[in-house]
Structure 1
Amino acid sequence: MYRIQRLTGLLFLTISFVCFTSAVKAVEKSTLGKVSITAGQTPVQNQPVSVELPEIDFAGDAVHLVDLQSEKKTAIPAQIEKRGSQPDRLWWIYRGTLAPGKTRVLELKAGAVPQAQEVTIKDTGTAYQIRVGKHEVLDYNYKHIPAPKDLHPLYGRSAHIHPIVTPHGKIVSDEFPPDHAHQSGQFLAYTKCIFEGRPTNFWEIKSNKGRVRFHKLLSKQSGPVFGELQVEQEFVDLTGPAEKVALREIWTIRVWNQLEKNPAYWMYDITSEARCATDSPLILPEYHYGGMAIRGGRGWTKENCRFLTSNGKTRENGNHDRSLWCDISGRNAADESFSGFTILSHPGNFRFPEPVRIHPSMPYMVFTPSALGDWKIEPGSPNISRYRFLVHDGPALSGTDSIWQSYAHPPEVAFTLAAKPKTKN
């Protein structure tokens, strides 16, 4: 009798496990809706694409897409962006090319796609390191990094990105360069400023008039499509009787997964939202540099560093060119190869197309609206600027104009929720 009960129990457990497994697989394969993507005048080509989702809870939020017009029906990694009070967005990387005017229909399904690599964020103790799989892409330094002993202590800083690393492992940024130690990695700062009637300077930090520093972490997210870091920075004025925060700036840094074994470049976006921290505006008189900047790799010189703007201009004639994008690349002394990065400016930026400051001898550039005349950031009116970065091996990328067009003019995307099956009475 005991043996019969035991066998009956085992049979029940086996049937239950099979039913549970089948139910899980059924959920993972269930269709949640359809996505249609239509290219405008610009082709859609190997770029991030998104669509707003309806206010519905997708259990687990692990989803993927399937191209209904593809013979292989390959699963495409997708990721849901949680946006608090705003509707969630679905993101994926569109692989291949969708010609202007053409439409593609994809099916959204529950369940993740097994991936060899995701975009992750590691806290190193001094920086948030963003990686694609096992590859380091960039480090955002949130801890104060002391200046080297042979430099003045005032050069120490936080709130900058370094190193920036290519897919082949080349470092294309510098930190505390000996000739201009305040140009560390990638940073955003303004030079000629007036706050509460006093001249201040957030760029040349050795002047001890002002500086930009990390304040706090707001959020971070990893996933199969992107990894995102959101931090708050402070523009601190040091010219008054006590230090005072003039601007609070939110940086949203998003690194994209290229979904390729050997990508031609890493791609990441930065959105800067700078707001007045007091009732006083930050006045920015006309000046020839100040804004979103990058300092090129150690060892890049006038002789081995090249610039190229979207208008085909170079170091010799490109300073303050009003460019859609600008590339800087330098030659590596070890193997004579070139590597570098391209900054793409968004059409929604103030004074777009912004002039790009190209230094006549040093390896740095900065998109600078101040070159076109006086302006200011006023209370209640934040300055929001957006940029996309392509970190590449080799010289300037071919096809950057198409990449900029895709960035500036995203396709039309619509989502249709799957109909729920009718229940029997």
Structure 2
Amino acid sequence: MRRLVAVVLFCLISFPSLWAAGEIRIVVEAGSYDRTDCVVSTGVSSLDLKGDLSAVVLYERIGKKRIKVSCQLLREKDGTPHLYWILTGKTPAGTMREFIAERSRKGERKAIMKTEDTGKALILKKNDNEILYYNYATVYPPAGIDPAFQRSGFIHPACAPSGNVLTTIQPKDHYHHYGIWNPWTRIEYDGNMYDLWNLKDKKGTVRARNIAVVYQGNICAGYLANLDHYIFSPSGEKVIMNESWSVKSWNIPDKFLWDFESGLHPSTDLPVLIKAYRYAGFGWRATEEWTKENCTMVTSEGKNRPEIDGTTARWIFVTGTCGGNSRSGFLVLSHPGNYNAPEPLRIWDENSNGGRGDAFVNFAPTKNKDWQLMPGKEYGLRYRICTYDGEMTADEANRLWNDFAYPPKVFIK
């Protein structure tokens, strides 16, 4: 695995020459929304790719000056090259900014956004500060607990910039809760029903298969991982669906910002029908420090914890007390292109767990609607997560959602 990391990172900073000569002019239009430190990108597959190795240097043109801007070139999972950078500072709605990209053999090779492989997990970092762990090795339940609760392919811990941990796994009340994970509760396949969420039922599970790509650089660090969805039947185990996770963490000030993209596709010649059920899909079990006494929830529709469950929303954030005196939080943004958007929410109310009111949040696109997945097709779900210290506001959450849902338009001139 460590060798794979090194090879992929070398490839990502050693793209073929994009331009035989000259330079590329890029115009970014803010569109209808004010922008602050916004992630932008442009595909460059239409440009003339050469065989020699080179780097890309990006400048912003301000009047007659060229100001160097950090950038990073990545290949997307479909193989197309994309140039990423941060639209730093404030960019008012209706304005545009101009950039120049050119070939250089002296491109940036340091990495602020880092990926570390422990042999059991990938750690995404900003400098030396841990953002999240992706656990690809199997994690077993505590001694004396049914081994059916074992799991791989989940995120824990996910942290705030201060280092406060915002997730938990294997809580005694729900041993099948694994930080941030993405299984489905009611799956109909070949005339039978399976449950890949409630592991104690022993009807199915999700397992990490491999890490396809990892990368790091000045703009983002991340990985592309593959997982398999298993059903358990009297005839044995069977993979009925493959899943890819594309996770990118971004170099923005003050907060941790990262994208989670799931790609689902049936792995046999039969369809997979995800039946409507009150919870399934992208789930987050928050730190056990948080109870109804010290954390609050707010959605994009202005709803608070007692009224959230079963409503739809573009985003939800939870802010709570960590370590007795500091406040940190977790914002989840749901993309408008997701199935059944704006998605229904499943949350635990204040009476959960015998009145403790632990925090559990689930964007559940199939809460009130079946979802049929056909062979030969891929079905995507996209979320953006922001972890922060202090408090979140609705205005800030809306700004971040606008950046995610309707990013600035980028044109190559």
TM tier relative to shorter chain: 0.7 to 0.9
Note if 1:99 corresponds to 2:92.
yes
Distance change >3 Å, CA 61–CA 134, structure 1 → 2? farther
Note if 1:405 corresponds to 2:402.
yes
Matches of 1:284 and 1:112 in 2, distance apart? 47
The correspondence for 1:310, drawn from 281, 300, 305, is: 300
Contact 1:174 1:295 in 2 (8 A): yes
Q: More displaced, 186-195 or 62-71? A: 62-71
Q: How do residues 18-417 of structure 1 correspond to structure 2 at under 5 angstroms? A: 32-53=23-44, 54-57=46-49, 60-69=53-62, 73-83=66-76, 86-109=79-102, 110=104, 111-113=106-108, 117-258=111-252, 260=253, 263=254, 265-332=255-322, 334-360=323-349, 361=352, 362-397=358-393, 398-416=395-413
Distance change >3 Å, CA 85–CA 209, structure 1 → 2? closer
Give the deviation of 1:257 after TM superposition: 1.3
The amino acid of 2:347's aligned partner reads I
Cα deviation per residue 1:63-113 (whole Å; 9 max; x = unaligned)? 232221178744211111224765421110110122222111112243334
Q: More displaced, 247-256 or 191-200? A: 191-200
The amino acid of 1:136's aligned partner reads E
Cα deviation per residue 1:254-278 (whole Å; 9 max; x = unaligned)? 11112x3xx1x10110111100011
Distance change >3 Å, CA 272–CA 224, structure 1 → 2? same
Contact 2:109 2:217 in 1 (8 A): no
Stretches of structure 2 lacking an aligned partner (at least 5 in a row): 1-20, 353-357
The amino acid of 2:387's aligned partner reads V
Contact 1:233 1:250 in 2 (8 A): yes
Instruction: Give the fraction of aligned pairs with identical amino acids, expressed as a percent.
Output: 28
Distance change >3 Å, CA 326–CA 71, structure 1 → 2? farther
Stretches of structure 1 lacking an aligned partner (at least 5 in a row): 1-29, 417-425
SS in structure 2 of the partner of residue 321 of structure 1: coil
Give the deviation of 1:152 after TM superposition: 2.3
* Cα-Cα RMSD: 1.9
Contact 1:119 1:225 in 2 (8 A): yes
Matches of 2:369 and 2:411 in 1, distance apart? 41
Higher alpha-carbon Rg: 1
Matches of 2:54 and 2:234 in 1, distance apart? 50
Contact 2:61 2:67 in 1 (8 A): no
The amino acid of 1:171's aligned partner reads V
Cα deviation per residue 1:149-179 (whole Å; 9 max; x = unaligned)? 2532221210100000111110000011111
Give the deviation of 1:114 after TM superposition: 7.4
- Would you say how many aligned residue pairs link Structure 1 and Structure 2? 381
Matches of 2:38 and 2:298 in 1, distance apart? 22
Matches of 2:177 and 2:54 in 1, distance apart? 41
Contact 2:340 2:366 in 1 (8 A): no
Contact 1:344 1:388 in 2 (8 A): yes
Give the deviation of 1:325 after TM superposition: 0.5
Matches of 2:170 and 2:187 in 1, distance apart? 23
Cα deviation per residue 1:354-384 (whole Å; 9 max; x = unaligned)? 0111111331111111122222222123221
Contact 1:305 1:329 in 2 (8 A): yes
Distance change >3 Å, CA 66–CA 244, structure 1 → 2? same
SS in structure 2 of the partner of residue 63 of structure 1: strand
Q: Report what 2:6 is aligned to.
A: none
Matches of 2:360 and 2:287 in 1, distance apart? 9
Give the deviation of 1:329 after TM superposition: 2.4
Q: More displaced, 194-203 or 82-91? A: 82-91
Contact 2:35 2:399 in 1 (8 A): no
Q: More displaced, 353-362 or 268-277? A: 353-362
TM-score (norm: length of structure 1): 0.85
The amino acid of 2:94's aligned partner reads G
Matches of 1:31 and 1:316 in 2, distance apart? 60
Cα deviation per residue 1:38-69 (whole Å; 9 max; x = unaligned)? 12112232111011223334764432322211
Q: More displaced, 249-258 or 193-202? A: 193-202
SS in structure 2 of the partner of residue 67 of structure 1: strand
Matches of 2:379 and 2:336 in 1, distance apart? 14
Give the deviation of 1:221 after TM superposition: 1.4
Distance change >3 Å, CA 274–CA 114, structure 1 → 2? closer
Contact 1:31 1:107 in 2 (8 A): no
Matches of 1:84 and 1:313 in 2, distance apart? 37
SS in structure 1 of the partner of residue 305 of structure 2: coil
Contact 1:217 1:230 in 2 (8 A): yes
